[in-house]
């Protein structure tokens, strides 16, 4: 017991900083209702600024790294409690097919444009792809430890996606009048193409109640695919050896097999199953979801503290082009695929 306390002591200053600043970021985002910048993005920015202004922050390194990994993974696990799978199929198999096809195709677009065309790092490409095809910051945070992405890659994926997502809120509603879309059809477009849940609500509620309801359903359907998508990407990276961190030794076969489905992804899927069978009630799910958001805010301080600003901006233009390619693809998919599938 004493040994464990001594081992934990060097982490305490960094953890304390993450907790205080993370809670403050969550409170500010919640009280000011910042739909264009949720608590995760704000925490990430605060962490990056803190690392930049501190001349000597080595005493915080152990704690911030622990927060940016362990708390992040546990927060991902908790989000499974808010996933209600029946919502995914209640509106018909066509919407399910629409979401699955659009989501996995968007990952392919990210790979072809980001990695193959622009030479973007495979890990950063995957983070950009999953963030913009699934559920924004949470998806990026969930995938990062699986493929062993570094903090600068996470920071680039989240920061640029969040900025472009905020701009999308302003421009997307013009499609409703330009193409004469019904509220239902516009909801499909907004739900499949907008980056984060809060941004989906902001971009769809402007058009109408039906648009907002439909967009939310589609967005949550994308969230349900987070677990399967992480498993697929994890398998691809491990089979190719791309998940190895820079300078990391090659892991044993048994270690690689155990990491195909990380512990927190298993937990995510278990909680999603419990929620779908009402073992976890909607009230409890809401409480767990709020707790996860707080943990995400704390963890992102740690992630931001590890970001190298030079690396962030060095890959900036290629990240932006990749994000725009995925966004444009998702918008076109939302406009065209529902007609092909007979949804509208």
pLDDT along the chain (344 residues), means of 10: 52 92 90 69 84 76 87 81 69 82 95 95 94 86 87 87 78 87 92 81 77 80 85 86 54 45 75 89 89 87 78 79 95 94 86
> Is 9 inside a domain boundary?
no
> Is 84 inside a domain boundary?
yes
Q: Give the whole-angstrom CA distance, residue 51 versus residue 308.
A: 9
pLDDT at residue 279, as a whole number: 92
> Is 331 inside a domain boundary?
yes
Structure tokens at 111: 């790979």
> Is 81 inside a domain boundary?
yes
This prediction has a pTM of 0.71
Q: Specify the number of domains making up the chain.
A: 1
CA dist 65 to 217, 251, 260, 300, Å? 35, 21, 23, 10
Domain ranges, residue 79: 14-341
> Is 7 inside a domain boundary?
no
> Is 4 inside a domain boundary?
no
> Is 142 inside a domain boundary?
yes
Q: Give the whole-angstrom CA distance, residue 337 versus residue 191.
A: 13
> Is 6 inside a domain boundary?
no
Structure tokens at 283: 């009230």
């Amino acid at each position: 017991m004493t040994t464990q306390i001594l081992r934990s002591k060097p982490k305490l200053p960094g953890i304390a900083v993450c907790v205080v600043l993370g809670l403050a970021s969550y409170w500010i985002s919640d009280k000011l209702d910042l739909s264009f910048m949720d608590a995760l993005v704000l925490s990430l920015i605060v962490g990056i600024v803190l690392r930049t202004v501190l001349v000597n922050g080595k005493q915080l390194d152990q704690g911030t790294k622990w927060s940016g990994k362990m708390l992040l993974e546990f927060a991902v696990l908790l989000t499974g409690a808010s996933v209600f799978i029946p919502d995914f199929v209640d509106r018909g198999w066509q919407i399910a097919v629409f979401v699955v096809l659009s989501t996995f195709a968007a990952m392919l677009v990210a790979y072809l444009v980001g990695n193959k065309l622009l030479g973007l790092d495979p890990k950063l490409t995957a983070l950009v792809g999953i963030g913009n095809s699934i559920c924004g910051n949470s998806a990026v945070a969930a995938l990062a430890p699986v493929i062993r992405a570094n903090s600068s890659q996470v920071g680039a994926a989240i920061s640029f996606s969040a900025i472009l997502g905020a701009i999308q809120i302003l421009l997307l509603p013009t499609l409703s009048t330009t193409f004469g879309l019904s509220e239902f059809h516009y909801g499909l477009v907004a739900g499949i193409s907008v980056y984060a849940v809060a941004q989906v609500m902001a971009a769809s509620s402007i058009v109408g109640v039906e648009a907002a309801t439909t967009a939310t359903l589609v967005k949550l359907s994308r969230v349900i695919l987070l677990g399967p998508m992480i498993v697929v990407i994890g398998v691809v990276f491990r089979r190719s050896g791309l998940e190895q961190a820079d300078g990391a030794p090659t892991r044993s076969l048994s270690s690689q097999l155990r990491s195909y489905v990380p512990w927190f992804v298993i937990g995510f899927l278990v909680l999603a199953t419990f929620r779908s069978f009402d073992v976890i009630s909607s009230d409890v799910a809401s409480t767990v979801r709020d707790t996860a958001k707080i943990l995400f805010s704390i963890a992102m301080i740690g992630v931001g503290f590890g970001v190298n600003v030079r690396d962030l901006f060095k890959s900036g233009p290629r990240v932006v082009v990749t994000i725009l390619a995925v966004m444009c693809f998702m918008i076109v998919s939302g406009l065209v695929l529902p007609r092909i599938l007979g949804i509208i």
